[in-house]
A = this chain, B = another copy of it.
Amino acid sequence: MRRSTILEVAHLASVSKTSVSRYFGDERARLSPALQARIAQAAHTLGYQPNQMARGLKGGRSKLVGMLVADIRNPFSVAITHGVEQACRQYGYSLLIGNTDNDPEQERQHLAVLGAYQVEGLVINAAGSPERQLHTFIHQGTPIVLLDREVNHVDAAVVGLDNHQAVDMALDHLAEQGYQAVLYASETPEQSSTRQLRLAYFNQSAKQRALSHSTLLLTPSDDTATLKALDHFIADHKHLPCAVLCGNGNATLSVTRLFQQLGLSLGKVGLMGIDELDWCSLVLPGITTLAQPTDAIGQTAIHCLMHQIAPHTTPMPTDLSFAPTLIKRGSTHQ
């Protein structure tokens, strides 16, 4: 059995298809109550539902938002996606989602596809630097919002954490807890503006504070090298209380493993991470984190997008840069 069309409903209700169209559009008010009832009845018995494809063809309104995620398995990305999806539905939009697994090539392909579906807006957590393609979208009038990561030469709103504030809050807390040497652990920052930003600002802020500090790049392949690097850092600051600050959730995971491998006691050597994770309270005595307001970030990205899609209907969010929340636990208590 085929899906019924507007014409069939019109016939069954003995009205013109225009009336049916109006009923399902925003002009229901212009129909007489009698007609409305007949149409409602007919539509119901036929299980009719407007074809969004055909609708989009005519008006150019696909009611679709495209979203690209660099790593869909990352809990942080997931949490943000939750907020995005929620807000989309609230605006009556649907989410066409693409995971790029941090691969620029997949990102290219996905963007092409999203274009083919005439998405009305794009939310992008970039993996590479798809400037060209993004410019094409912008040129066509398709609004774009960047999530967490910037893209070179693309002038679009970026929604995410206030990275400077986050690093400062972390260093403040560590200082307060008496740690005097801090190692910043980060995944390789190549692809991510955020990783770069946090790393650079850590160095800057630590220097200003006259804090003994260093950085550690986590290479997935070479465990022993990073292990040694961490060990050295501790040894080099034998006389000072040391702490490690992790740039994101993955880094926290890796470093926690390193701590266990080296037999470091959490707290004696401080440990703190940006991004809150389910298990941070479980690894005793608990790992101190800076939690991001992920739902708010995701929702704001969509608000921001909708403001550009329908400027008159939707207000522009005032703030696109969010403050983290400090969650104190035992890992930063000597």
Q: Which residues of A contact B (CB under 8 A)?
A: 1-3, 47, 49-54, 56-57, 62, 72-73, 75, 78-79, 81-82, 85-86, 89, 94-99, 106, 109-110, 112-118, 136, 139-141, 253, 256-257, 260, 277-279, 281-284
Contact = CB atoms under 8 A, between A and B. Distances in A.
A27 to B, nearest CB: 18
Given A78-B72, A96-B94, A57 B49 contact: no
A110 B86 CA distance: 11
Given A116-B52, A117-B53, A282-B256, A94 B85 contact: no
Copies of this chain per assembly: 2
Contacts of A49: 112, 115-116
Contacts of A1: 139-141
Nearest to A253: B278
B140 A2 contact: yes
A261 to B, nearest CB: 11
A127 to B, nearest CB: 14
Contacts of A57: 51, 53-54, 57
A3 to B, nearest CB: 5
Given A282-B260, A282-B279, A72 B85 contact: yes
Contacts of A97: 85, 95-97
A88 to B, nearest CB: 9
Nearest to A109: B89
B99 A96 contact: no
A52 B257 contact: no
B75 A75 contact: yes
Contacts of A78: 72-73, 75, 78
A304 to B, nearest CB: 20
The 6 A-B residue pairs whose C-beta atoms are closest, nearest first, are: A279-B279, A52-B116, A97-B97, A53-B56, A85-B99, A52-B117
12 contacts: A52-B116, A73-B75, A73-B78, A78-B78, A85-B98, A94-B98, A94-B117, A95-B97, A260-B282, A260-B284, A277-B279, A279-B282
Contact of A96 (B95, B109, B116, B140): B95
Contacts of A62: 53
A116 B51 contact: yes
Nearest to A4: B140
Contacts of A114: 94
A2 B283 CA distance: 54
A75 B74 CA distance: 9
Given A1-B139, A279-B282, A118 B51 contact: yes
A94 to B, nearest CB: 6
Contacts of A98: 85, 89, 94-95
A3 B120 CA distance: 12
Contact of A283 (B75, B81, B106, B279): B279
A236 B304 CA distance: 57
A120 to B, nearest CB: 12
Given A52-B116, A53-B117, A253-B278, 12 more contacts: A1-B139, A1-B141, A3-B140, A47-B136, A49-B115, A53-B118, A73-B75, A95-B97, A95-B98, A260-B282, A277-B278, A283-B283
